[in-house]
């Protein structure tokens, strides 16, 4: 078990990493695929490693800091909330289920895609405002700052969708799955590689915590020592034995 100081240090490290990854997002090969970003990876790992609530806090702060200190366009707090909820979802699956990591990751991806990407993020981007409305950005909309050509032209004009929310929703449904799959693959590889380090550092997966709390590998499972059970579960022939 990690101490409070260690947990705070872990959160600070993750926040710094998240800020860097947010600033390193860049435009892909063309406007149709949107921006290449590793923010999904960051949110997944934050939740899996730090847990749901610390992951939530880390993901929110890591998205807020670049918007405040390095603003490059419109900002909506809903986008920060979306990242935070994504980490929360990952943390809940990671902490409270005993599934295999690949199943936890798939469940996280599917849930967060609907709840975060297609709902919170879309609402945030469509209704985004400039956190520091100065200079040339003051009169610009998100569509003029970010080249969502797919949403504006192909969907808006070709499919007759005029409502900005549905334009952005359809654009996300087409643009984001590729980046989510790539982020998920990298997340899986990194998380599996980190398992030995995480175990040594005091982080345990839900199934390991469950086994540690409820199972005892010793043949004295269920033995009572000085009036207290030696182990949480009693399933052996020594049930009820009292040793003084």
**DSSP per-residue codes, the chain:** ---HHHHHHHHHHHHHHHHHHHHT-EE-SSGGG-EE--HHHHHHHHHHHH-HHHHHHHHHHHHHHHHHHS--S-B-HHHHHHHHHHHHHHHHHHHH----HHHHHHHHHHHHIIIIIIIIIHHHHHT-B-SS--GGGTT--HHHHS--HIIIIIIIIIS----HHHHHHHHHHHHHHHHHHHHHHHHHHHHHHHHHHHHHTT---HHHHHHHHH---STTTT-EETTEESSS---STTTT-EE-
CA distance 5 to 2: 8
Q: State residue 205's pLDDT score.
A: 52
pLDDT tier for residue 221 given thresholds of 50, 70 and 90: very low
The predicted-structure confidence for 8-56, as pLDDT tens digits, reads as follows 999 999 999 999 888 876 655 555 555 677 889 999 999 999 999 999 9
Q: State residue 38's pLDDT score.
A: 86
In Å, how far from its chain's centre is CA 197? 20
Average pLDDT over residues 135-142: 44
For the domain covering 4-203, report its CATH number. 1.10.1760.20
Comparison of pLDDT for 176 and 12, the residue scoring more? 12
Q: Where are the domains of the chain?
A: 4-203, 206-244
CA distance 166 to 168: 5
Average pLDDT over residues 174-192: 90
């Amino acid at each position: 078990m990690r101490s409070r100081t260690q947990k705070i240090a872990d959160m600070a490290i993750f926040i710094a990493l998240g800020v860097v990854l947010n600033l390193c997002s860049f435009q892909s090969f063309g406007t149709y695929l949107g921006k290449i970003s590793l923010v999904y990876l960051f949110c997944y790992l934050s939740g899996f490693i730090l847990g749901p609530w610390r992951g939530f806090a880390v993901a929110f702060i890591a998205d807020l800091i670049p918007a405040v200190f390095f603003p490059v366009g419109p900002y909506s707090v809903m986008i920060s909330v979306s990242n935070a909820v994504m980490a929360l979802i990952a943390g809940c699956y990671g902490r409270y289920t005993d599934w295999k990591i690949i199943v936890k990751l798939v469940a996280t991806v599917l849930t967060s895609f609907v709840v975060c990407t297609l709902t919170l993020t879309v609402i945030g981007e469509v209704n985004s405002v400039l956190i520091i409305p100065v200079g040339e950005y003051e009169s610009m909309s998100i569509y003029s700052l970010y080249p969502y050509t797919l949403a504006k032209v192909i969907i808006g004009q070709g499919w007759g969708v005029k409502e900005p929310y549905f334009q952005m929703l359809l654009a996300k449904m087409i643009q984001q799955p590729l980046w989510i799959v790539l982020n998920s693959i990298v997340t899986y590889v990194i998380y599996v590689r980190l398992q030995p380090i995480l175990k040594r550092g005091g982080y345990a997966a839900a199934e390991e915590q469950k086994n540690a709390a409820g199972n005892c590998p010793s043949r004295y499972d269920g033995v009572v020592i000085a009036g207290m059970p030696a182990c949480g579960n009693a399933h052996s022939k020594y049930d009820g034995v009292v040793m003084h």
